[in-house]
Amino acid sequence: MSEPSVFTRIRTGDIPGEIISETENVFAIRDIAPQAPVHLLVIPKTERYRNVGELAAADPGLLGEMIAMAGSLAAEHADGDYRLVFNTGANAGQTVFHVHAHVLAGGLEEKELRA
Ligand code: AMP
């Protein structure tokens, strides 16, 4: 068994962090190093999928639940518009190999919109 991911450790209370939204299968936290005025992470409770490709192939319904939560959070925390980013692989900047969506919103700068 590998160690629980940092996200699971937040969800289970092992390390500090606020769960800002939660359903049966999905939860959300604030990114500790925000890259936009609103920068949230939407995460499935299962650690089974390392990246969005694995998740989409195996459980598209769960991916849909993540996207639904991203939209709700963008409406609640910003004007409803948002970017959804799934870094996939270390060479693309992925550091946590428990699939998660970055929800970026709230008046993005031009440079953030081009990224
Ligand atoms: P990625 O680089 O796509 O794997 O994204 C991992 C994200 O997790 C980064 O944006 C980090 O800032 C964020 N992160 C790492 N540790 C924590 C933490 N303890 N609480 C909230 N966000 C975190």
pLDDT value of position 107: 81
pLDDT at 105: 97
Match 């604030």 to its residue by tokens: 30
Mutate to test the pocket of ligand 1, among 32, 88, 97, 103 (most ligand atoms within 8 A of CB): 32
Half-sphere exposure in the Cβ direction for 58 (13 Å, CA):
11
DSSP alpha helix (H) spans, the chain: 6-11, 52-58, 60-77, 110-114
Q: Are 76 and 82 in contact (CB under 8 A)?
A: no
Q: What residue ranges line ligand 1, CB within 6 angstroms?
A: 6, 17, 29, 31-33, 87, 93-96
Q: Which atom of ligand 1 is nearest the CA belonging to 94? A: 4
Question: Rounded to the nearest whole angstrom, what is the distance from the C-alpha of residue 31 to the centroid of ligand 1?
Answer: 6
Residue 64 to residue 113: CA distance in whole angstroms: 23
CB 54 within 8 A of CB 99: yes
* Predicted pLDDT at 111: 57
| pLDDT averaged over 10-residue windows placed end to end, the chain, 115 residues | 92 96 98 96 98 98 98 97 97 98 85 54
Domains defined along the chain, listed by start: 6-113 (3.30.428.10)
